[in-house]
Amino acid sequence: MPNIPVVETILNVNDQLAEKNRAIFDRAGLLALNVMASPGGGKTSVIARIIDTLRDEARIGVMDGDIVALDLEGFAAQGIPVSLINTGGNCHLDANMVHSALPTMDLDALDLLIIENVGNLICPAAFKLGSHLNVVIASVPEGSDKPYKYPAMFRGADVLLLNKMDLAAYMDFDVDYFRYGVEVLNPGVAFFPISCRTGEGLDAWHAWLRARLAEKIQARA
Amino acid sequence: MPNIPVVETILNVNDQLAEKNRAIFDRAGLLALNVMASPGGGKTSVIARIIDTLRDEARIGVMDGDIVALDLEGFAAQGIPVSLINTGGNCHLDANMVHSALPTMDLDALDLLIIENVGNLICPAAFKLGSHLNVVIASVPEGSDKPYKYPAMFRGADVLLLNKMDLAAYMDFDVDYFRYGVEVLNPGVAFFPISCRTGEGLDAWHAWLRARLAEKIQARA
């Protein structure tokens, strides 16, 4: 019998651990999000809006890797299970940090696990966590050139939110230039212009997320 | 003769190389700035405004470490010496990257060297480049909680610009909360609220920078 060469993708240690995390999430039957953005892009506001909209239809938990997680207390006060991931001041989450934090949450009691990454458009793009969806948030005041300047982050997005649309009227934001940059990197990516402040566009984004959640819950049966 | 213990600060390799860079800058008699901000915080706009204001009174050069340095061409077209630092997609500049780029510029022909760091509020704070002044740019749309969330960056600033003040009217930005966070971390740091779009506040900031530049030029004699 001849030797048949088998080409295997050699996963690095982080990717291997990310796969373990993914298996744990799948066993629990939950949908896991990795929420990434620049500092001040709106990660916490996006998460707060998801909680407001979906809390009566889904059991939501939040893990926070932001350097100083000032916002977790607010979620906890609403009865949302929260966990602070100790990044040691690091510039991104990795699969091991998430893995270490998993025992702090009852995953079987969750439908949706939201992991808030560190505010950074560069480093988090290089580290898979095991989540099902990379939610990347850009924001209007950051400028329409961001896809061109931070390509890895935009290339890796499963869904892209363009937040702070309420400020577009007061600035020169070239939506076509932004979208062209995104399409080149990540053709057909789900895209929602939103404003967490005014609520603009949130219905469409939440409907999309609700559909992903329903697929996950259906797969349990 | 007794042994007298000498306590030395053990500098790491980056700090040692940063000191070498500083010595080179000082020998050339130029003032070197390390400009840091979030993605879209306004690094390029701040640099463009400095060039507009000071180009007739100072010889300015720009080194750019941003991941994709789209903006250098514009400066070069104005006759400004520019150099692209190859970061290899890294999330920050370090002293070695700057050191490697130094031979690409005629430092003796400069009064002011502006080094544009990678757009990132975390990693660049940990790596000295040898510059004389850390110029940190925050921007109004990022929110007033940024000093609390990214303390290392604000602690290390020699001058802090709060950009996009023209958008403050359209958002909830708590200037007192922002300034309190800054003061706790970095008491008395030079602080200028500005808008690169409208020009608000630029006179005061440029006057401050002009004074630092004059000190440097005077020290040559």
Residues of the domain holding B98:
13-213
If pLDDT is split at 50, 70 and 90, which confidence band does B8 have? very low
Nearest residue on chain A to B150, alpha-carbon basis: A67
At A43-91, the pLDDT tens digits run 999 999 999 999 999 999 999 986 665 678 889 999 999 998 878 778 8
CATH number at residue A166: 3.40.50.300
Which residue of B lies nearest to A195 if distances are taken between CA atoms? B171
Task: Give tens-digit pLDDT for B97-111.
Answer: 999 999 999 999 999
pLDDT at A66: 67
Over residues A180-189, mean pLDDT: 96
A217 in a structural domain: no
Partner residue facing B149 (CB), from A39, A149, A164: A39
Task: Label residue B130 by pLDDT band (50, 70, 90).
Answer: very high
Tokens of B120: 């990132």
Residues A125, A127: Cα–Cα separation, whole Å? 6
Residues of chain B contacting residue A156, judged by C-beta atoms under 8 Å apart = none
**ipTM beyond cut 0.85:** no
Domain assignment present for B120: yes
Query: Mean pLDDT, to the nearest integer, of B150-164?
Result: 96
How many domains does the structure of chain B reveal? 1
Q: What is the pLDDT of residue B136?
A: 98
Residue B6 has pLDDT above 50, yes or no: no
Does B39 sit within 8 Å of A142, measured CB to CB? yes
pLDDT at B7: 41
Average pLDDT, chain A: 91
- pTM here? 0.88
B220 in a structural domain = no
In a domain, A54, yes or no: yes
Give A38's contacts in chain B (Cβ within 8 Å).
38-40, 119, 142
**Is residue A22 situated within a structural domain?**
no
* Within-domain flag for B4: no
Tell whether A147 is covered by a domain: yes
For A60: left if phi > 0, alpha if psi spans -120 to 50, otherwise beta; the answer is: beta
Instruction: Tell me which of A4-13, A63-72, A192-201, B154-163 is least confident.
Output: A4-13
Per DSSP, B171 falls in state: S
Nearest to B194 by CA among B156, B157, B162, B158: B162
- Is residue B38 a part of any domain in this protein? yes
